[in-house]
Amino acid sequence: MDDVLRIEPAIRCGVVLTGGDGAATRRNAQRIEALGFDSLWVGDHVAFHVPIPDSLTMLAFAAAVTERVALGTAVYLLPLRPPALIAKTTATLDLLSGGRLVLGVGVGGEFPPEFAAVGVPVAERGARADEAIEVVRRLWTEDRVAHEGRHFRFGPVTIAPKPARVPPIWVGGRADAAMRRAGRAGDGYLSHMCAADKYRENLELIAKTARESGRRDVAFTPAAFLFTFLEERYEVAHEKASALLGTIYARDFREASKKYCLLGRPADCLEQMRAFARAGCRHFVLVPLSDPAAFAERAAAEILPELRASTF
């Protein structure tokens, strides 16, 4: 991969931000930063099985109460919005946060009603995402942009102010189409529901696609989005994680949680994270499935130091 994907060796780790109200969100964001995590993240849906705040509004709120951590979407559903609106909002967010935005993107599709709600056919989500990545980057960096594509036609138009710097776009997803999208156009890859052995295969497909697309020496960040439940007994962690994720995704999650989640003691989770790191992962996005404040404290004390001391 060295001739195509340039991957830094340092391991970084972030946490998905939660909080039922402004005060809790502020406390959690500030504590995640104070504990030494590298990034904080939010999910994204227009509508879903469970309540979920607007992702960019959440990050704007977090940007105002933090100073250092990267601010990421895991993942922003590109097909649900016009790319000019995405470019405008994210440029402002990156500018006001001092260049801290990481735009993790995906196509969604697991909840068709939200596509109907915004008038976008689910079947068009991949093509719309591909076109949107190109358009958003141009609007971030160019003036008087004119675009004539399959799904979007406009211009010339200028989006200003521009972002503080061009935010990296990390492509998330599980299907091969997502790996090819990351290879063609991504600055990073964010896995979802992926085991460590499959992770390496995905990176190989990304590198192959990048090479075939004529890309060379691309600064690239392989990341992993991992639901995590810290508990002294694996069986208890598995039971609680399966129940919670089953509610969130409205399906049986017992087998999936065994394959795709970090469960048990911090030492158990570290063992699984090291397997991902050996497969090429360099940025972990931990999703707490228990009390977020307690999770952050324990992960900072028992996972972060060991993870950063590891070499791969």
d(CA 49, CA 260): 20
Q: What's the whole-number mean pLDDT along residues 128-136?
A: 98
* Tens-place pLDDT, residues 179-210: 999 999 999 999 999 999 999 999 999 999 99
pLDDT tens for each residue of 255-278: 989 889 999 999 999 999 999 999
Percent of the chain with pLDDT over 90: 92
Residue 178 has pLDDT above 90, yes or no: yes
pLDDT of 2 over the 90 cut? no
Quote the pLDDT of residue 20: 78
Say whether pLDDT at 88 is over 90.
yes
Q: C-alpha angle 239/227/170, rounded to 5°?
A: 160
According to DSSP, the residues that pair with 106 across neighbouring strands are 77
More confident residue, 121 or 50: 121
C-alpha dist (Å) from residue 132 to 13, 176, 264, 290: 28, 19, 39, 35
User: Which residue, 169, 198, 167, is CA-closest to 183?
Assistant: 169
Q: 35 vs 308, which has greater pLDDT?
A: 35
Q: How many domains does the chain have?
A: 1
Tell which residue, 71, 76, 70, 117, has the closest CA to residue 87.
Answer: 76
What's the pLDDT at 1? 63
281-300 pLDDT, tens digit each: 999 999 999 999 999 999 99
Give first-to-last CA distance, the chain, whole Å. 16
> Residue 114 is part of a domain; what is its CATH number?
3.20.20.30
Radius of gyration of the chain (CA): 19
Task: Indicate if the pLDDT at residue 89 is higher than 70.
Answer: yes
The average pLDDT across 45-68 equals 96
- Distance from C-alpha of 84 to C-alpha of 90, rounded to nearest angstrom: 10
**Mean pLDDT along residues 8-28:** 93
pLDDT interval class at 251 (50, 70, 90): confident
Under a CB-based contact definition with an 8 Å cutoff, are residues 162 and 95 in contact? yes
**pLDDT in the model for residue 98:** 98
H/E stretch holding 258: helix 254-260
| CA separation for the pair 50, 41 (Å, rounded) | 18
Find all residues with CB under 8 Å of 248, minimum gap 6, and list them: 49, 50
pLDDT for the residue 248? 86
Which residue segment(s) compose the domain that 149 sits in? 5-309
Give residue 250's pLDDT: 86
Contact 95, 163 (CB under 8 A): yes
> Do 281 and 272 touch, CB atoms closer than 8 A?
no
What pLDDT is stored for residue 179 in this prediction?
Answer: 98
